[in-house]
Structure 1
Amino acid sequence: MAPTSKQLQQSTHDIQAARQKASFPVDQLTNYLYGGPENLKKVDKYRTIIANEPAFTKKKAAFQSRQEQLHSSIHAARRFIEIAEEQNFSTQEFLELFALSGISTPGYILNNIIDDNVAFWPVIEFQGTDEQAKKWLDAAKRHAIVGCYAQTELSHGSNVVGLQTTATFDEATDEFVINSPDITAAKWWIGGLGVAATHAVLQAQLISKGKNYGPHIFIVPIRSPLDYKPIKGVTVGDIGPKAYGGFATVDNGYALFDNVRIPRDYMLMRFAKVSKTGEYQPPVHSKLSYGSMVKLRVSILSDAGWRLAKSSTIAIRYCTSRRQFNPDQNGLESQVISYSSVRHRLYPLVATAYALILSGINLNKTFNVMTEQLSREDATLLPEMHVNSCAFKVWGARRSSEGIEECRKAMGGHGYSIFSGVSEHFATFVPANTYEGDNFMLCQQVGRAMLKQLDNLLKGKSYNLKTATYLDVLISNPTITVDANSIYNPELQLALFGKRAAHLVANLGRQVKAGRPWGDVNMECWEICLAHAEFLLLKQFHDTVRDLQKSQPLLAPVVQKLTNVFALSILTGTGLATFLTSQSINVADVDTIQEAYRNSLNEIVDDAIGLTDAFGFTDDELNTALGKKDGNPYGELWEAAQSNPLNSDEGREELGELMKTILHRGDNLAYIKAAKL
């Protein structure tokens, strides 16, 4: 039986009433997040195109097999290309349109944020010569080829040095011979390789004159763009469905190479080079090739923010519309969002989404500067970008995937429906914890880098990383006093977060100095990685508030409230143990901080819907029955269920006939009639 009209009207009224309480200009914050009104105008143009294109609808996907979804997504990919040509879009505009659509297709990885061509392109741009870039990028931009990035192997992932695929130079033919020694060396998990890619930028051990020079990148044909058949010596296919049904329309694939020959100039040679006589010339800086990997981790940070933003928007809207228990004198039950447990679970996630998005914007700007420097073989920014992008990737992947799942649970039973719109984000984003570097492996790199900074501090040298200056506290050892007022002070918050990170680094230093093997300090590195990321995220939050106080003062107060929720939720929640063990706060201060945290949550109650509205998502983007802008979750969920093919006359008839083969076994039919069942 469908919900009553009164309930439908009330749920819509509740969300509209909550929207009116916002203390800030929502549209102004949306403009800020999207980089200004002109950028937002362009995004809205893309949204209109997407909404009006039947090929881009997601409504059928829930009832399609994976193969059917793949077919639909290829049709969508072709339509994207046609629209880009019709609209005379630049390559960048085409990629922006595709990313905004929320559609993933074969030939694309990282689900809409970085496609395989974009993983393909920056590697060639960073590491290819001008001639190589022109040849391959011209072809890719015309969609005459489809590229992918092939690094991970069946038996090796994060350990790039241990990759087994070889590229052996043959002086006699001026060619490299690409070979997989056995199936453990098969390229595996490669997005775009399963059904789509014609070419790969491939990591392989470079061997020349009998010497192994380590992993380098080569362009290797996979399928002929003429007949789409695999190149001789290449065995290629799709690895199959992924966990939770995620990445259903991404063709993660495998490939084995049986002495596949490629010209010598298919090795990317902007930095490292091999001559016709097999002489190897190393790059000026040994780590210049890291730039393309940093690109992927930078994008994960933004992806983490926007996915959590979508999930928290859906959950907060639904919990505002839904009423359960404790009816008042008019018979109205209490809004779910009014319960303290729900606010404690959801409001910090909104703050986290903002923290990730704001830091993602800033990190992208820094990355662009680094890219320009790398083109001049200037690697000044690379160490800092590498460490910070590792820390951000670890933190963002962990906290966002956990947060998306928390949004689902906060929505109760209906959250488990695919029509909630949240499950897709979890299934698609949770693998970010392992791709582009396993989180626990990356945190070791952060820990090692911070130990070097600690060594510089103790030797009186300057830091290699500007973001390590919080280590100064180990020398100055200031007294930090926490009370009910000072805990909201930006300088005090940063001092607490910096002191914690510094003392965690110092503890790691003591462990290593005492002889503990590096393989046994992973958890210390993990805590340092999280603390480093949280310090940077909080600093960016406070920097944003200072910027807004000057440029858009009407927005500064609400962003400051979010900053407090972010900082205090970590102080009282996930970070409490490390704040205590590092003696950054005292046990006696915990009650004061927890009370401040509760107050910070109360501060944003009236702004919760406004803050989620400010993300600017359309209903099409959210693809949800429970979290639409105007509410009415029950009506929308009811309608979504009616589209189920099992509920059609044909569906019922087909299953009914099958069920009767059980019900009518033996003499059951006569028994049913006689018993008048």
Structure 2
Amino acid sequence: MTLNKTLVQMSTDIETARNKSDFSTESMYYLLRGGPKAIEQLDYFRNLTQNDPVFNKSEVPFLNRQEQLQKALQISKRLIELMQEQDMNESQCAALIEHIDFALPVTLHFKAFMPVIKNQGTPKQVDKWYNAARKCAIIGCYAQTELSHGSNVMGLKTEAVYDQNSDEFIIHTPDITAAKWWVGGLGVACTHAVVQAQLLIGAKSFGPHLFIVPIRSPIDLEPFKGITVGDIGPKAYGGFATSDNGFVLFDKVRIPRDNMLMKFSQVTRDGKYIAPVHSKMSYGSMVKIRVDLVEEAGWRLGKAVTIAVRYCTVRRQFQAPESKLDNSNLETQVISYSSVKHRLMSLLSTAYALIVSSEAMYTKFNTLTKQLEVNNATMLPEVHATSCALKSWSTRHSADGMEECRKAMGGHGFSVFSGVSELFAIFVPSNTYEGDNFVLSQQVARFLLKQLNDMSKGKQLTSTTEYLNTLTEEPTDSFKFENPYEQILDPRIQLKVFGRRTARLVASLDKQLKSGRAWSDLNVECWAVSTAHAEYFILQEMIRKVEAVRPVAEYAKLADTLKAVSDLFCLFTLNYSSSSTFLSTFTIHPSDLDMLNGQYRTILAKVANNAIPLTDSFGFTDFELNTALGKKDGRAYEHFWDVVQKNPVNSKAENVKLRKLVLDILHRGNTLKVSKL
């Protein structure tokens, strides 16, 4: 087959775009990935996995559900072997799981089961259970959600009744609505579960607590007496097909009292309940998972944007009027159309912003963890609320952004071989797990209302809510720009505008609540408040990142590029994604929008000129992207053709089976003869 000029041009187009970079992609790669040591570990993982056939995902789209589960268990087995062969520590094990980026039956063993035991267990419990889990002598999961309850943890129905006579808890499912549901790893793999259950001592309930419950024997994987367990089946969009999300029913299952995780709250031998220092001490583990989701949202969106930007750079469609002037007879690169730049560059800035914001949240979480170790919960409300806001915002925008990337790629984006559809299918449920996003927004709003009340009493605000002080500065006027086009690039003004908008939304919510409106009637207002709080935090961290790199020799030349990405996030949020709340709070005057939008178009063009270098800076390998259309060399159509040829449906053996059925349709009732063909 002759290689035509279109195919040749694709490689030329992507290299031309790559060579336009006005910054060092290598330096940006190091900055985003955390520096030389982090890159060294990443390369170490790549060397371990990318040449190992067990980790090859190319066959997965052609497998049925049972075969996909088998594949996932093969990968799980090899991962655990590598962890033990390489004597990896805890953080390396978790990082390797993240690097594989595959929904596995053991993912939550490492990401939830082990961390919860470590963070919520006593030293004795950690020594027993955590060390066994570390060796994978047991495989665990985290069982919270029930058939009838998810976000409402206080409403969980699974019971843990203390029997003082035997010094045991009786774990019981009163009816099927209390069946644990959606639990990753529980379907076929797990031997143990950390179970959220209502603690009952006598006739008194002390609310949900955590218990380690044996599910299956590690010897033969047979369920223990009183346990009914299984897999809940296929999920939407074919997502998480390689994960055995499961259910479990408990029929008066007895466990020792010591199986209750008792770092913060305890039940004594004589049935006395000892409450934790702070009622929400157990929230620390949930905060960690939500911060993980913010980081995951950024990197997964980064993958989707990388694929879409590369494909739209090499894909040419139509001839724009201005392109006819170059006499090349080439169709126009899709990436050059304003609608495509508007859609993809905003998502590129969002991916960068989420990666940077997650770094800041990890810093806060690590400080919080140290405080919790000494029973100091001072930071817990602030970090909990902000992690809720960011989890809600990031999962929503990342999942929606992946779908937008697919649509920007045109018809081919719908193929599984684009790589984007799989990213979406796996990440979209994050909008509802670890807390439904709309429910989480109410927790954010409650925290901010308390902060507003504290401010009115002269108390000091937290570092993430200092913007509430703007309510004392022209509380109802629009921000007065002298020159919106120029001033909106001033980071101080950006934060002033975003802070004033958020503060006014909080004040409005407070006013409506005091006017008599029921809390249940204010869900939409809570969503707006949570969204604004998240956007203020994200913008603030992007601005801080730019300021932080300027004085650092190895990264200083990246500052202007990062500033443009930060400005794009700011202007897109202000002009498009959240413009309604800037206008409804009278933070921005409508007459300023034209000039603000003019600056948006200027910054959009600047970022678009660096689109390929900025996506290259994420540092994804072709193996990690798992795409035919978004490979680094730009040869999308050739790669797409090659992967389709591997489709088993095109094999002779499969084709014969299908052909027989088609012939049965064609030859029914001698239709060919009757039709006189």
- TM bucket normalised to smaller: over 0.9
Contact 1:23–1:606 (Cα < 8 Å) also in 2: no
Pairwise CA distance, 1:670? 4.4
User: Is the 2:114–2:134 Cα contact (8 Å) retained in structure 1?
Assistant: no
Indicate conservation of the 8 Å contact 1:66/1:248, yes or no. yes
Structural mapping, 1:640-659, within 5 Å: 640-659=643-662
Letter in 1 for 2:68: Q
* Aligned residue type for 1:131: K
Name the counterpart of 1:471.
468
What's the counterpart of residue 256 of structure 2? Answer: 263
Q: CA-to-partner distance for each residue in 1:19-69, whole Å, 9 max, x for gaps?
A: 000100000010011111121022012112221000001100111001100
**1:311 is the counterpart of 2:310:** no
Deviations 1:495-515 (A, max 9, x none): 100000000001001101100
- 2:93 paired residue number: 94
Pairing partner for 2:229 from 232, 236, 242 = 236
The answer on whether the counterparts of 1:3 and 1:635 sit within 8 Å (CA) in structure 2 is no
Equivalent runs, 1:445-464 vs 2, <5 Å:
445-463=443-461
Partner of 2:619: 616
**Structure 1 position 275 matched with structure 2 position 268:** yes
From 214, 219, 236, the equivalent of 2:212 is: 219
1:47-126 map, 5 Å: 47-108=46-107, 115-126=108-119
- Counterpart of 2:252, as a letter, is N
Structure 2 alignment gaps of length 5 or more: none
Q: Which residue of structure 1 aligns with residue 392 of structure 2? A: 394
Moved more, 503-512 or 661-670: 661-670
Report the secondary structure of 2:229's partner residue. Answer: strand
- Aligned partner letter, 1:472: N
For residues 610 and 276 of structure 2, the distance between their equivalents in structure 1, rounded to whole angstroms, comes to 53
Residue 343 of structure 1 corresponds to 341
Matches within 5 A, 1:140-289: 140-289=133-282
Alpha carbons 2:160, 2:172 under 8 Å: kept: yes
Who is 1:570 aligned against?
Answer: 573
Query: Equivalents in 2 of 1:222, 1:480: separation in Å?
Result: 63
Secondary structure at the counterpart of residue 269 of structure 2: coil
| CA apart distance, 1:4 | 4.6
CA contact (8 A) 1:107 1:193 kept: no
**8 Å Cα contact 1:319-1:337 kept in structure 2:** yes
What is the one-letter code of the residue matched to 2:473?
A: S
Cα-to-partner distance string for 1:150-188 (whole Å, 9 max, x where unaligned): 111000111111000000000110000000000000000
Report if aligned partners of 2:306, 2:616 keep a CA contact under 8 Å in 1.
yes
Note if contact 2:146-2:180 (Cα within 8 Å) is conserved in structure 1.
yes
C-alpha separation in 2, matches of 1:89 and 1:397: 30
Q: Is the 8 A contact 2:382 2:447 kept in 1?
A: no
1:398-547 matches, within 5 Å, as: 398-463=396-461, 465-477=462-474, 479-481=479-481, 483-547=484-548
**What is the SS of the residue equivalent to 2:527?**
helix
Matched letter for residue 116 of structure 1: H
Q: Which moved more, 1:529-538 or 1:284-293?
A: 284-293
Counterparts in 2 of 1:18-29, with a 5 A limit?
Answer: 18-29=17-28
Q: Aligned partners of 1:172 and 1:460: how far apart in 2? A: 53
Instruction: Give 3-state SS (helix, strand or coil) of 1:604's partner.
Output: helix
Tell me what 2:44 maps to.
45
How far apart in 2 are the matches of 1:89 and 1:274? Answer: 35
Q: Is the 8 A contact 2:172 2:251 kept in 1?
A: yes
User: Distance in 1 between the 2:96 and 2:433 partners?
Assistant: 25
Deviations 1:96-153 (A, max 9, x none): 2221122221132xxxxxx333201221112110000110011101111001001110
Among 641, 664, 667, the residue aligned to 1:664: 667
Equivalent position of 1:35 in the other structure: 34
TM-score normalised by length of structure 1: 0.97
Aligned residues: 666
The code of the aligned residue for 2:495 comes to L
Runs (5+) with no aligned partner, structure 1: 109-114
115-124 vs 498-507, which moves further: 115-124
Partner of 2:631: 628
Q: Separation in 2 of the partners of 1:353 and 1:271?
A: 37
C-alpha deviations, 1:608-630, integer Å up to 9, x for none?
Answer: 10000000000000000010001
For the residues of structure 1 that align with 2:118 and 2:78, how far apart are their CA atoms? 27
Instruction: Verify: 1:138 aligned to 2:136, yes or no.
Output: no
Deviations 1:559-614 (A, max 9, x none): 00001110000111111110011111101001011111111101112211000000
SS across alignment from 2:142: strand
Which secondary structure does the structure 1 equivalent of 2:186 belong to?
A: coil
Cα separation, 1, equivalents of 2:171 and 2:194: 12
Alpha carbons 1:117, 1:146 under 8 Å: kept = no
Match of 1:111 in 2: none
Any conservation in 1 of the 2:76–2:106 contact (CA below 8 Å)? no
How far the C-alpha of 1:233 sits from its partner, in A, is 0.2
Confirm or deny: 8 A CA contact 2:170 2:255 kept in the other structure.
Answer: yes
Aligned-residue offset at 1:8: 1.2
1: distance between equivalents of 2:355 and 2:449? 29
Aligned residue identity for 2:347: L
Q: Is the 8 A contact 1:199 1:222 kept in 2?
A: yes
Kindly indicate whether the alpha-carbon contact (under 8 Å) linking 2:239 and 2:422 is maintained by their aligned counterparts in 1: yes
- Give the aligned CA root-mean-square deviation in angstroms: 1.3
> Structure 2: how far apart are the matches of 1:208 and 1:147?
27
Q: Distance in 2 between matches of 1:643 and 1:367?
A: 46
Deviation at 1:460, TM superposition (A): 2.1
The separation in 1 between residues aligned to 2:656 and 2:300, in whole angstroms, is 40
Is contact 1:55-1:75 (8 Å) kept? yes
1:356 aligned residue: 354
Cα distance in 1 between the residues matched to 2:672 and 2:350: 60
Return the letter of the residue paired with 2:640. Answer: L
- SS of match in other structure, 2:157: coil
- Does the 8 Å contact 1:3/1:634 carry over to 2? no
> Does the Cα contact within 8 Å between 2:93 and 2:110 map onto a contact in 1?
no
Runs of 4+ aligned residues of structure 1 deviating over 6 Å after TM superposition are: none
Question: CA offset at residue 669 of structure 1?
Answer: 5.2
SS at match of 1:47: helix
Verify the 8 A CA contact 1:419 1:625 in the aligned structure 2: yes
Task: Give the 3-state SS of the residue equivalent to 2:21 in structure 1.
Answer: coil
The alignment partner of 1:24 has SS state of coil
Letter in 2 for 1:117: F
Shift in Å at residue 480 of structure 1? 3.6
1:276 aligns to what SS in structure 2? Answer: coil
**Amino acid in structure 1 at the alignment position of 2:468:** L
Letter matched to residue 270 of structure 2: T
**Contact persistence 2:188–2:244 (CA under 8 A):** yes
